[in-house]
Amino acid sequence: VVITCLANFTGTIKLAGLKWYDGTRGFFEVDCPSLAVAYTNGRIQLMRNEADEAPVLVDTELTVYDLNWNNDGTILAIAGHGASASVSTRNHLDVQDFFEDRVPNCVQFYNPMGQHLRTLKIPGVRIGSVDFDDTGLRVVAAVDYHLFFAHIRGQHKWGYCTSTVIYSYSTPMRPEHTVVFWDFKNDERHVKHVRLLNNICAYKEFCLLTAKNSDLPNQQVLVLCNSIGTPLEHSYIEMEAKFLAITEYHVFAANDVAIFIWEFKQRSRLGPNGPHIVPGTSAYRSS
């Protein structure tokens, strides 16, 4: 196994842990990393397999002691110790320290692509290990002589429109995400399969699905559907849609620095003008 995360680093480094998610409950997305290699200096290497030549590299800036995947491989928890407090301070931690950003022990949460999701600060002298329960809804961390439990709030892909609940899930049998349009009043279900699904958003009779383009990694497609999953219109954007909103006439997609606005034709297929951009530019960029 080629260790890329230690490039340009000198000195003796110990292996903190090696964890593999076996894919029994599906994957976060097609061909995503499931093997995590961590070193005590905070460097993490996320690999698709043991021969991955382009692993995802993460620098947690922690002294890492343990790591673990959750039950479906969507979250990697990394337990470590920061350098934000002196030894004398760590011996006298109280509740106030917990909220004043001086607690050195923490658990960092990442998705399989190395994106940081959240940091959980934990009081105590030294954190020893971290793990999830079988449901993936609770995490436990061992610190000194104590066990700390926390509930996990997952970011589920779902929406609601005209008495229809739209939700998605993945299985080991299919590489695509399964999207279900469930009309709970009539108990009717319409199933669609979407490759590299990114998010779901809904409003009144419309549902918006966003997915990555497998051929162009920086491109995503926005697909406007009705309440049974029939595509009405679509548009391509050259950015990741991290945030979504939809109204009767517009779709708003944004990342950390840009907003894309698309005006669509209500209750009709792609009109003569097609999806278009707000005059001036395809995105408004913040300073």
pLDDT reported for residue 266: 59
Q: Is the pLDDT of residue 282 over 80?
A: no
- pLDDT value at residue 276: 39
Segment 187-198 shows an average pLDDT of 92
Residues 33-63: pLDDT tens digits? 999 999 999 999 999 999 999 999 999 999 9
For residue 28, give the nearest of 110, 96, 88, 118 by alpha carbon: 110
Q: Which percentage of the chain shows pLDDT scores above 90?
A: 54
Distance CA 179, CA 187 (A): 16
191 vs 269, higher pLDDT: 191
* 232 pLDDT higher than 70: yes
Q: State pLDDT tens for residues 98-122.
A: 444 445 899 999 999 999 999 999 9
Among 24-28, 84-88, 192-196, where is mean pLDDT lowest? 84-88
Q: Which of 128, 150, 155, 138 is nearest to 28 (CA)?
A: 155
pLDDT band at 16 (very low <50, low <70, confident <90, very high): very high
- Say what the pLDDT of residue 24 is: 86
Q: Hey, which bits of 195-270 come out as E strands?
A: 197-203, 206-212, 220-225, 231-237, 243-246, 250-254, 258-263
